[in-house]
Amino acid sequence: MALVNENFLKLPGSYLFSDIAKKVNTFKVTHPKQDVIRLGIGDVTQPLPPAVIKAMHNAVEEMASKSTFRGYGPEQGYNFLIETIIKNDYASRGISLEPSEVFINDGAKSDTGNIGDILRHDNSVGITDPVYPVYIDSNVMAGRAGDLIDGKWSNLVYIPCLSENNFIPQIPDRRIDMLYLCYPNNPTGTTLTKEELKKWVNYALENDTLILYDAAYEAYIQEPDVPHSIYEIKGAKKVAIEFRSFSKTAGFTGVRCGYTVVPKELNAITLDGEQVSLNKLWNRRQCTKFNGTSYITQRAAEAIYTPEGKEQIKEIINYYMTNAKIMKEGIESTGLKVFGGVNAPYLWVKTPNGMPSWKFFEQLLYEANIVGTPGVGFGPSGEGYIRLTAFGAREDCVEAMRRLKNWIK
């Protein structure tokens, strides 16, 4: 019989969202007349922008005719999209990239999860805590995380992000081989300024650390001092891979498209001390295990960068960020402490008097009929917080704040 990869057996079941669903269902059965507002969703709700829909229709038409039909495309993505990305997302910020440094994919989850394929199993791994669970679980599967002891993986370096340190991760006193950073952050909604990110790039340069930089919420940045790309920091091309996604930027959670930047200057090392280009390795990995994102999807992504597309996604992001503003002000007026919501569609609320996340979740559900996501579900440092998202409908956000204010009077 085939032997399984036993690393998978180390993973505890992912019960967070099913536990939430169960608790909400119980409440609904026992309180059939109450209407519940869900502010826990991590998915967009607004439809795709018209420019994207039009591009997809056109691409479908091309597929219908023999002369314009497309079969397999390049594994790395079509040049029309890569060139558009470089021009709009990087050149416009003074960052030069070659087309072969950009890899189009079917979303950032795949690549943030798969990138470990090209890295040895015994690298040390740093994560900020709380964190997007993919970074941890994919390292568990690769045998890189060690064992789960008292809620923490023995081989991971947890870097706590708490209100006490303003959610700014402190540089560790030892070296780490690979480090995940996600800014603007899910779940806390907080960001790093250029100065703060620079400290991490310098740490990586000094310690030969590989930074895996997830910028899925880049499009939500409103403040001028927040970097959109890690490559805005000098030297970052030598140490960082950047992941981007059209999911939150343009409502592509169901369409599936993103991209990964692996600079040519970025090397890792063999045990013998030989420097190896990660761009080459990642290209090899993709060509072997990935056959490209669909043509229709890549045309859809290209349309985000047209003048109409840009205007339309800006409007959608403004809608979510106005929700965030309404929620932030509403929560603050109750006296609760809230973080994020300025450059990201997430609000990270501190529970009153250090109440555990799950207890506050239940009170919020039973007394205000609002559903959030318990912070502890994102890691040990999330205990004592709850995450609310701004992806809902405006009227629901307004009504939720009204309920919150009545409840906490």
Asked whether residue 109 is marked as a ligand-binding residue, the answer is yes
**Of the residues 228, 248, 328, 350, which one makes contact with ligand PLP according to CB under 6 A:** 248
- Which phi and psi angles does 205 have, rounded to 5°? -65, -40
Burial class (CB in 10 A: 0-12, 13-18, 19+), 69: exposed
Question: Min. distance of Cβ 319 from ligand PLP in angstroms?
Answer: 18
**Of the residues 78, 90, 132, 167, which one makes contact with ligand PLP according to CB under 6 A:** 132
- The region of 73-81, 104-112, 195-203, 400-408 touching ligand PLP under the rule CB under 6 A is 104-112
- The region of 12-20, 71-79, 105-113, 284-292 touching ligand PLP under the rule CB under 6 A is 105-113
Q: How far apart are CA 362 and CA 369, in angstroms?
A: 9
Toward ligand PLP, which CB reaches closer, 90 or 346? Answer: 346
Toward ligand PLP, which CB reaches closer, 181 or 236? Answer: 181
The residue whose two tokens read 């609904």 is: 28
Helices (H), 233-306: 246-250, 278-289, 295-303
Q: How far apart are CA 335 and CA 369, in angstroms?
A: 19
Q: How far apart are CA 218 and CA 245, in angstroms?
A: 9
CA-wise closest residue to 381 among 167, 129, 172: 129
* Residue 293 within binding range of ligand PLP, rule CB under 6 A: no
Number of residues that bind ligand PLP (CB under 6 A): 13
Toward ligand PLP, which CB reaches closer, 101 or 218? Answer: 218
Asked whether residue 277 is marked as a ligand-binding residue, the answer is no
Asked whether residue 15 is marked as a ligand-binding residue, the answer is yes
Asked whether residue 320 is marked as a ligand-binding residue, the answer is no
Question: Min. distance of Cβ 248 from ligand PLP in angstroms?
Answer: 6
> What residues between 177 and 236 interact with ligand PLP by CB under 6 A?
182, 186, 214, 216
* Residue 389 within binding range of ligand PLP, rule CB under 6 A: no
- The Cβ of residue 294 has, within 10 Å, a number of other Cβ atoms equal to 17
**Of the residues 188, 247, 373, 389, which one makes contact with ligand PLP according to CB under 6 A:** 247
Long-range pairs for 359-366: beta carbons < 8 A, 24 or more residues apart: 360/386, 361/20, 361/23, 361/386, 362/23, 365/23, 365/24, 365/27, 365/36, 366/27
Cβ neighbours of residue 386 closer than 8 Å, sequence gap 6 or more: 348, 349, 351, 357, 360, 361, 364, 372, 373, 374, 375
* Order of strands, sheet of 156-160, starting from the edge strand that comes earlier in the sequence: 102-105, 258-261, 240-245, 210-214, 178-182, 125-129, 156-160
- The region of 141-149, 240-248, 265-273, 283-291 touching ligand PLP under the rule CB under 6 A is 240-248
**Of the residues 109, 228, 328, 387, which one makes contact with ligand PLP according to CB under 6 A:** 109
Asked whether residue 174 is marked as a ligand-binding residue, the answer is no
* Residue 253 within binding range of ligand PLP, rule CB under 6 A: yes
Beta bridge partners of 104: 259
Report yes or no: 301 and 261 within 8 Å, Cβ to Cβ.
no
Q: Which residues belong to the annotated binding site for pyridoxal 5'-phosphate?
A: 72, 108-109, 132, 186, 217, 245-247, 256, 291
Q: Which residues belong to the annotated binding site?
A: 15, 42, 72, 108-109, 132, 186, 217, 245-247, 256, 291, 387
| List of residues contacting ligand PLP (CB under 6 A) | 107-109, 132, 182, 186, 214, 216, 245, 247-248, 253, 258
Q: Which residues belong to the annotated binding site for substrate?
A: 15, 42, 109, 132, 186, 291, 387
